[in-house]
Structure 1
């Protein structure tokens, strides 16, 4: 019975997950928050799975759980905001600028050779260790280190980035990057 419940729920999520994620995106307008919101709603749905007798109503249950969770998160966040006459020391988060930076980084990564792009993605996006990457790619750890190093040097290079990152200081050619462990 319990394994049937797991399989049934797993099949539901596999089938309806993308549609529900789009609904979560409309509620949050941020992919990371949308994924968190959907996961929270699916966790609530899983706990109530045996009580939902009409399987056609599951989407409505999940959407209602997302809406309630979003409202709860909004109320909690609202309590952290206090009116003041002073301007904050830190700049306000600029979602548009972050989106532009993410797009520019994607373009810069797209200009890297395939092997360099793959190692950078595995290292920094998938957070894999050099040994794990070496195992996946079937190369030595030294090859992974040198490939990532060359890719990062190319990304730091003015020519590789072009004008995609205006306002961000770039490392001059031939300069050694600052390393806090060496100070």
Structure 2
């Protein structure tokens, strides 16, 4: 018996990734330092390709599996390089620089666990159960992490922020 051609594997992988591309890109761009979101996304795709045989749909969704890989790759980049603050939002339009700088700076100071939890919940709108799946922890840990991160952001930015 022969194995399927490489093109079949590539097509199947592309079909697995395609519906989740937008959310993967958003997560990479929010978590990766110094505008390295594209690099983090590329590294995540390469890692997902290498690990594709490990994906088990009975253990979770493809989206959560892919987001976990993206978050991991973005964290690796973050550890290598401290983020530079951007004065433009994702759409490339100017925002209120002082607000953007304050928020990005405060988010950059969150822990390696808090930063992805905040991003997944508030920027990508994932429910707690999915965040737990992506972060490989319990829903209670996610809730606690979000609570701690919000408290830290309130201390740094003030109640009225």
Q: TM-score range by the shorter chain?
A: 0.3 to 0.5
**When the two structures are superposed, what TM-score results if normalisation uses the length of structure 2?**
0.40
Instruction: Work out which structure has the larger RCO, using CA pairs closer than 8 Å and 6 or more positions apart in sequence.
Output: 2
**When the two structures are superposed, what TM-score results if normalisation uses the length of structure 1?**
0.36
